[in-house]
Amino acid sequence: MKYPHEPWLTHYDPAVERDLDLPEVSLKDHLNKVFAEIPHHHALHFLGITLTYGDLTSYSNRFAQALLSNGCKPGDVVGINLPNIPQYLIAQLGILKAGCSASGVSPLLTAREMAYQLSDAKMKALVTLDAIFEKRLNAVTDQLPDLKTIIGTPILDFLPKYKQLLAKWLKKVPSGTMSPVPGKKVLTFRQALSDYPDQDPAHSVTPDDHCLIQYTGGTTGTPKGAVLTHRNVMSQLAIVVNWLQMNPGKEVILSGFPFFHIAGLALGLGSMYQGNAQILVPDPRNTRFIVQQMAKFKPTILVNVPSLYMMLLEEPAFRKLDLSRLVFCLSAASPFPANTLKELESVIGEGKLVEAYGMTECSALVTCNPRLGVKKTGSVGLPLSNTILRLMDLDTGDHDVPVGEEGEIVVSGPQVMKGYLNRPDETSRTLREHEGTIWLHTGDIGRMDEDGYFSIVDRSKDMLNVGGFKVFSREVEDKLYEHPAIEFCAVVGVPNPKRVGTEVVKLVYQPCRAYKNRDAETVNSSIIAFARENCAPYKVPKIIEQIEAMPLTSVGKVDKKALRRSMRP
């Protein structure tokens, strides 16, 4: 059963098409065309400066020439190890113009983790912060024989000198010293932009060439490089722009997603895809800065994880903003607690929050609630245009489950990756053929209702076996988020000492501000009583732990991998 009637089609917004005619052009060629048409339009706002599309064209031409003059050639992989600053997008564009593939490298990685990713992708060049170069990268350069060029930059490199001094005075900004490395070329970002010609290398790039080597988060194992082609990325951007009915050249977009994450990069590229303006947020946890930028630029689109929206709600100034120009807010990467969703919409406007679901292997999004139509709370929406979803049984993975039952989400669409870099076994386990079509097995457990709306129940590796019963951790978490004491929570399994091979439910939670000074035992008892009233007995936590701060991933999701590590004896 592949849901032949595709019930979700009935609930598409009127302007959204079932099957779009997707562009047969590389991302490089498309962006070149857009930039040439609007050289004077604003592209980036960053700490009081603005870059135009003409600026981006010139800077990225020079950066591409710097790469090609220092050991890179078309087809090579170049890493970008930066927060959301202008240098990131300039490097991204320059890499595309040089005919290379870009790979985001999180600035939060340890030296060992950086070395793994750079080595795994055989990166020929890396763009990094001077502070990271000095404090982490220098320690592992001898382990990276493929790395030929290192380009370092301060965070504030694009600000005028007086603004750099002011920023350093007001708040400590990490900095470091660039120094020679045996066998490698080391230069500054400013040198890359000043010492090389403003000329597009004009390398031919086809839709099926590699565009991104985007690493998975590694929350359930070793990170893997998803190979995304220009066709994958262009298809994703065309589909999402149509779904959200974004206006070319008219939108002002603000997002806390980092560019090294697929959601942040897709948004950064998507803004440029349409010639829109975007506000760069180098530190997404600085909610005061975000509110200031919103007051100044009045964004039309806001994109964040639920945790950041929750943090914004704690900023009194956020509630006082003039949000009349805000068209919608997109939320993805983790579930949005229903009570908090209602509170957010009381500030931004009813019906303006749009929840979506995606993953690195799918160039970002797979499903999304309608922008204008019916949005179902707790649902991640409908399959996007040109995209088909199935739910396959959890035991064998070879047949579909009926509407309303849980199954593994599998996806087929033009945004699905080519495969994992240098991992044929992992690729064959994830990309499988069913009835002549290649389907991506996501590892996520979901269910579909009769209208075609999908809900995420759990990650397959997060599902618990409690006395022979399947317990979906996300289902329990969603219910417990309704308790007023819980700010963040995670449900994990702990081995049951009385029954080998099964688990007991453990709840770890961070209390809301109003509950932090209350007696923990009393609060815990209240949560357990709430769980007993609202959950089946085998889903009720047997162990409960209150912690001061929940570990979060780089994009603000609860980090269950870190929680499990902390629980090991």
CATH assignment of the domain containing 526? 3.30.300.30
Find out whether 232 and 414 touch, Cβ atoms under 8 Å: yes
Same domain, 262 and 195: no
Show which of 440, 458, 476 is a domain's final residue: 458
Q: How far apart are CA 426 and CA 418, in angstroms?
A: 12
Token readout for 489 is 């929570």
**Residues 451 and 476 placed together within one structural domain of the fold:** no
Please give the Cα distance from 471 to 531 (Å, whole number): 14
CA dihedral 143, 148, 152, 158 (to 10 degrees): -150
440 and 453 inside one domain: yes
**pLDDT > 70 in the chain, percent:** 95
Q: Do the domain assignments include residue 228? A: no
Residue 6 within a domain: no
pLDDT interval class at 253 (50, 70, 90)? very high
Q: What pLDDT does residue 568 have?
A: 55
- The whole-angstrom separation of Cα 107 and Cα 237 is 26
Q: Would you give the end-to-end CA distance of the chain in angstroms? A: 45
- The pLDDT of residue 466 is 83
The reply to whether 447 and 478 lie within a common domain is no
Q: How many residues would you count in the chain?
A: 569
Contact (Cβ atoms closer than 8 angstroms) between residue 44 and residue 277 = yes
Whether 257 and 160 map to the same domain: the answer is no
Q: What element of type H or E holds 81?
A: strand 77-81
Give me the phi and psi of 446, to 5 degrees please: -145, 180
pLDDT of residue 168: 58
Q: Are residues 286 and 393 in the same domain?
A: yes
Structure tokens at 356: 């979506």
230 domain-assigned: no
Could you tell me if residue 453 is inside a domain? yes
The pLDDT, as a whole number, for residue 59 is 98
Q: Which of 555, 565, 562 minimizes the C-alpha distance to 334?
A: 555
The letter for the amino acid at 557 is K
Domain boundary among 193, 208, 223: 208
Q: Share the mean pLDDT of the chain.
A: 92
Domain count, the chain: 3
Q: Considering only CA atoms, which of 195, 202, 212, 211 is closest in space to residue 70?
A: 195
Q: What is the predicted pLDDT for the residue at 3?
A: 60
Tokens of 445: 């457990």
Sign of CA dihedral 243, 244, 245, 249: negative
pLDDT band for position 165 (50/70/90)? low
Is the per-residue pLDDT at 219 higher than 50? Answer: no
Closest C-alpha to 404, from 388, 387, 391: 391
Question: Given the structure tokens 């490395």, which residue do they identify?
Answer: 181
Phi and psi at residue 433, to the nearest 5°: -90, 130
Structure tokens at 139: 């320690």
Residue 298 in any domain: the answer is yes
Give the pLDDT confidence of 124-135 residue by residue, as tens digits.
Answer: 999 999 999 999
Pairwise CA distance, residues 187 & 322, whole Å = 44
pLDDT at site 399:
86
Whether the per-residue pLDDT at 553 is higher than 90: the answer is no
476 belongs to a structural domain? yes
Q: 339 to each of 84, 315, 357, 478, how far by Cα in Å?
A: 31, 18, 20, 10
CATH number for the domain that contains residue 62: 3.40.50.980
Amino acid at 474: R
Q: What integer pLDDT is reported at residue 285 of this predicted model?
A: 87
Lowest mean pLDDT among 220-229, 262-271, 299-308, 361-370: 220-229
Give me the pLDDT at residue 555, please: 78
CA-CA-CA-CA torsion for 290, 296, 297, 301, nearest 10 degrees?
40
Query: Are residue 85 and residue 101 in the same domain, yes or no?
Result: yes
Q: What is the mean pLDDT of residues 556-560?
A: 82
At 102 the pLDDT is 98
Report residue 485 as tokens: 């004491």
| Res 37 pLDDT > 80 | yes
Q: Do 130 and 246 belong together in one domain? A: no
Residue 130 identity: D
Measured CA to CA, the distance from residue 125 to residue 149 in angstroms comes to 5
Helical ranges in 76-201 per DSSP H? 86-97, 111-120, 130-135, 161-170, 189-194
Q: Could you tell me if 556 and 445 lie in one domain? A: no
Give the confidence band of 5 by pLDDT, cuts at 50, 70, 90. Answer: confident
Task: Give the domain CATH number at 289.
Answer: 3.40.50.12780
339/444 same-domain check:
yes
Neighbours of 49 (CB within 10 A): 14
Instruction: Give how far Cα 345 sits from Cα of 284, 349, 393, 533, 556, Å.
Output: 21, 5, 36, 28, 20
Rg (CA), the chain: 24
For residue 458, the cross-strand partners are 445
What pLDDT, in 10s, does the model give residues 427-485? 999 999 988 999 999 989 999 999 999 998 877 777 787 866 778 888 899 899 999 99
52 and 129 both lie in a single domain: yes
For residue 468, the model assigns a pLDDT of: 66
Residue 224 within a domain: no
Asked if 178 and 201 sit in the same domain, the reply is: yes
Checking if the pLDDT of 401 tops 60, the result is: yes
**Amino acid identity at 539:** K
pLDDT in tens, 320-379: 999 999 999 999 887 788 888 999 999 999 999 999 999 999 999 999 999 999 999 889
Q: Give the end of a domain, one of 458, 481, 506.
A: 458
pTM of the shown model: 0.87
List the domain range (segments joined by +) for residue 140.
Answer: 45-208
Assess if residue 360 is contained within a domain: yes
pLDDT band at 292 (very low <50, low <70, confident <90, very high): very high
* 103 vs 462: which has the higher pLDDT: 103
d(CA 434, CA 527): 44
> What is the Cα 441 distance to its own chain's centre?
19
Quickly tell me which residue has 């030296």 as its tokens: 111
pLDDT at 339: 82
Q: Is it the case that residue 220 has pLDDT exceeding 60?
A: no
